[in-house]
Amino acid sequence: MIRRNGRRRGVPLALLAGAAVALAGCHGDAAPRGGFPPAEVTVLTVARRAIAEAFVFPGEVEPYRSVQVRARVSGIIEQRPFVEGSSVQPGQLLYRIDTTLYEAAYRSAEAHFESAQRTYDRMAPLLAQHAVAQQDVDNARFTLQAAQAALDAAKKDLADTRVVAEIPGRVGRTLLDVGARVTGPADLLTTIDRVDPVYVSFQPSSQDLLEWRENPRWRALIEPGSGLRVEVILPDSTVLPRTGRLDYVAPALDSATGTEEFRAVFQNPDLLLVPGEFVTVRLVGFQLDKAIAVPERAVQTALGRQYVYVVGPGNVASIRNVTVGPWSGGLWIINQGLEPGDRVVVDGVQKVMPGRPVNPMPLADSAGAAGAGPAGGAGSGSGTAPGNPARPAGPRRPGAAR
């Protein structure tokens, strides 16, 4: 029984050995003499094109107007009809202060005014008849004017017991509530922020400012009221569905930070922008006339340097170090390292071995990738790769801190 099992096992082992030899022979006949076949890659032929460049900065949302609500008179707060955090309109009652003393002062001033008015009315006609002295009429006139001033002041104090909103906006928390005593303007009651529209401020560096001002067309874009489009990327990486306009540029640099304050105004009917919120600001409208750019996936990073694979004579691949600039849509602008006519590997880089030949195929969207600019393509002013609006929130140039 054991011998029979052994014979059964021996037959397939022999067959397997023969099959292995046959396969090895077949493989040796099919393999190319040069080893592995050239890896198939897609390449982009580099050309200088007009490329839109979008600059990105961290920004902060600020209210369009912010006022402190204070009382002009002292007294006990009797009413506080507004809801904290709600929207208010000019003239809307916020606080009512006890009016007892101010009503009494108004009635007293009114009585003094009426008495002075009657005295003057009696004496003025007598002056023409020389029945009274000029000095008596002048004194009556001065008394009437003083009574009028006192009545006006009393009327204003009585009106000031009603503390109303001066601007439209959202009212904050109340700092003094019903029953508290207000001593006058020194006491802050609450604040009102106008949040439609809103400001978004950001601070370009002195290096950015120098670059912009060296280009006459770019210099015109950083003037308030220019055609520069200001976009905002919200904290959830979505793009605000409307753009803002530049309305203020600080006249001088901040000596402590080496930056200059820029401010854009945005309509905010849906209140997506909240004062105090940190966002990403993207400036759209700058254009490089003769730039070289490649798809971002073509640029590799290793040991702190960027490089691409270039296909040279004989379709042999080699490494080319590059100096990269900012992003523009799905492209990475190359400042140094590439020249027009260079063939850059875009897809299949993981299969490339420097010094070995490759099988280059034209990139299907090479025309759009190479020619992206203000008129269309990836660099049409979006400033981000499609579907990834949050990417530019990092440094505008690799390795540059913001």
Residue range 170-190, pLDDT digits in tens: 999 999 999 999 999 999 999
- Where helices occur in 222-310 by DSSP H, the ranges are none
Q: Is the pLDDT of residue 54 over 50?
A: yes
Q: Is the peptide bond before 340 cis (omega within 30 degrees of 0)?
A: no
- Asked whether the domain spanning 73-96+161-186 has the same topology as the one spanning 49-61+196-393, the reply is no
Confidence of residue 372 (pLDDT cuts 50, 70, 90): very low
Give residue 365's pLDDT band: very low, low, confident or very high (50, 70, 90).
low
pTM over 0.75: no
The domain spans of the chain are 49-61+196-393, 73-96+161-186, 99-160
Which helix (H) or strand (E) segment holds residue 77: the answer is strand 75-79
What class is the 99-160 domain?
mainly alpha
Q: Which residues contact 292 (CB under 8 A, 6 or more apart)?
A: 46, 47, 48, 49, 333, 334, 338, 339, 340
pLDDT, position 360: 93
Say which range, 113-122, 131-140, 364-373, has the weakest mean pLDDT: 364-373
Hey, which CATH number is domain 49-61+196-393, 2.40.50.200, 2.40.30.170, 2.60.40.10, 3.30.300.30?
2.40.30.170
Beta partners for 364?
none
pLDDT category of residue 361 using cuts at 50, 70 and 90: very high
What is the CATH number that goes with domain 73-96+161-186? 2.40.50.100
Instruction: Note the pLDDT of residue 373.
Output: 40
Tokens 């022979």 locate to 25
**pLDDT tens across 309-340, in order?**
999 999 999 999 999 887 777 888 898 999 99
